[in-house]
Amino acid sequence: MSALLSAALTAPLLGGDWPNRFAALGDSFFTELPPQGLPDPHWVAWSEDCARALGLPEGGAQPSDPRVLAALSGNLAQAPLQPLASVYSGHQFGVWAGQLGDGRALWLGELATSQGPMEIQLKGSGLTPYSRMGDGRAVLRSSIREFLASEAMHALGVPTTRALCITGSALPVRREEVETAAIVTRVAPSFIRFGHFEHFAHTEPSVDALRRLVDFVIDTACPECRDAPQPAVALLEAVARRTARLMADWQAVGFCHGVMNTDNMSILGLTIDYGPYGFLDAFDPGHVCNHSDHQGRYAYARQPNVAFWNLHALAQALLPLIADPDEALEALEPYKTGFAAALDARMRAKLGLATERDGDRALVEGLLQRMAADRADFSITFRRLAGFDSRDGAANDALRDLFIDREAFDAWAGNYARRLRDEASADGERALRMNRVNPKYVLRNHLAETAIREARGGDFAEVGRLLKVLSAPFDEQPEHAAYADFPPDWAQHIEVSCSS
């Protein structure tokens, strides 16, 4: 086992320093408490790639030192570790929910890495003062979904929290049915959310705590905002730009978050809190991946507008620190222009367009309309598009077969072929470019469900296999081609909700 890993994760035994800069903000921001460890824990999954990013190289499936298993199962948390749960508030499904907080998560501290300090957090480590009516636990099912999604999104190039590992236990946990407990070790430069700012704007009689939080985020994550005439305005604009890029990434890979509440929006523009998420199968702009979202608030096509709504909530929270409210609104304008420009660029890349022309957006919309009308598979359509033959009269049967209305597709394909010829596109070179941005492998719900079913029977091998496939989503991996197939019929009946 890596000596650094052993020293870091067993600091109470071997010494070392695990700072938690968030703790310097003061008691009103968190509650210190130890985790409630898993009884008789065992390893479920381990991300070697995440371990390397933390500077913790590991050659095996997971560390062999039992003290590491104990630490990441919540059974080893003495000083100098500083386990704490933070308080925040937020809007849930567009309604003010009041105080929320880390109801089942604890920050252990930070590791120094080549990419800067990384916070280490246990999710599923037991009750906190912010658990409300919950039990503070995570189950194996939801932990596998979060672990795989975190690492899959990272491999796709989408900003996200990471997941180092899952540990499990036979401890029973009741959801819709009795399941078993698990803990995910999550990693991010910061887990601060829009809801942290909302909490102190709504609950504190003075602006002191809110100002300290703004100063903390600027100092630790956005130092370029420090010298601005109004640092809070500069911070809001920086968050708007990051959020715009994130939304463009989500839309471009067909990702649906499912619970875009303000308490699930990262101040760093990261994808955070994987619950009822999903990647699109048959393309449907109105797809709602969360079966708890009865109004369809967080449908795929609505995600960009919801993000803008959430940014308005953040702006409202920051108003006590902003002299002119109009400046807060102006700080959000880069979201609208930034999102549109970022999405246009990503969609041009998905179509293999090397230049920018006036009709490109209409060309993209034309394809998406055809895909929606015929329920063409999102990922498979774009992957097959790389093999498009732009010669006049070429058949393109493999792509054409995805569409029911062949004549309508042929009309679009003719426009696409002319656009490619206009920029003298070389099909072979274009295909290489497109296959670097259009993934062959995404974490479809039926793939996660298969891994979960096997894990519930005590076989965690499929979790590891799926992680390996998803770690190289743009590679052909012919030996794993089945993971890129159309979803089976039974996948239509998978339901994910807020308990997922």
Which of the residues are catalytic?
A: 263
CA angle 161, 165, 166 (to 5 degrees): 115
C-alpha 360/C-alpha 158 separation (Å) is 24
C-alpha 178/C-alpha 275 separation (Å) is 18
**Are 146 and 184 within 8 A, CB to CB?**
yes
| Interacting residues of 100 by C-beta distance below 8 A, sequence separation 6+ | 87, 88, 89, 90, 92, 130, 132, 195, 199, 263
Under DSSP, the state recorded for 171 is: E
C-alpha 46/C-alpha 59 separation (Å) is 11
**Are 446 and 488 within 8 A, CB to CB?**
yes
Contacts of residues 402-406 at CB distance under 8 Å and 24 or more positions apart, as own/partner, are 402/374, 402/376, 402/377, 403/370, 403/371, 403/374, 403/376, 404/373, 404/374, 405/370, 405/373, 405/374
| Interacting residues of 459 by C-beta distance below 8 A, sequence separation 6+ | none
Tokens of 14: 């071997």
**Are 371 and 281 within 8 A, CB to CB?**
no
Tokens of 432: 């290489």
C-alpha 137/C-alpha 469 separation (Å) is 29
Ramachandran quadrant class, 11 (left: phi over 0; alpha: psi -120 to 50; beta: rest) = alpha
C-alpha 467/C-alpha 247 separation (Å) is 24
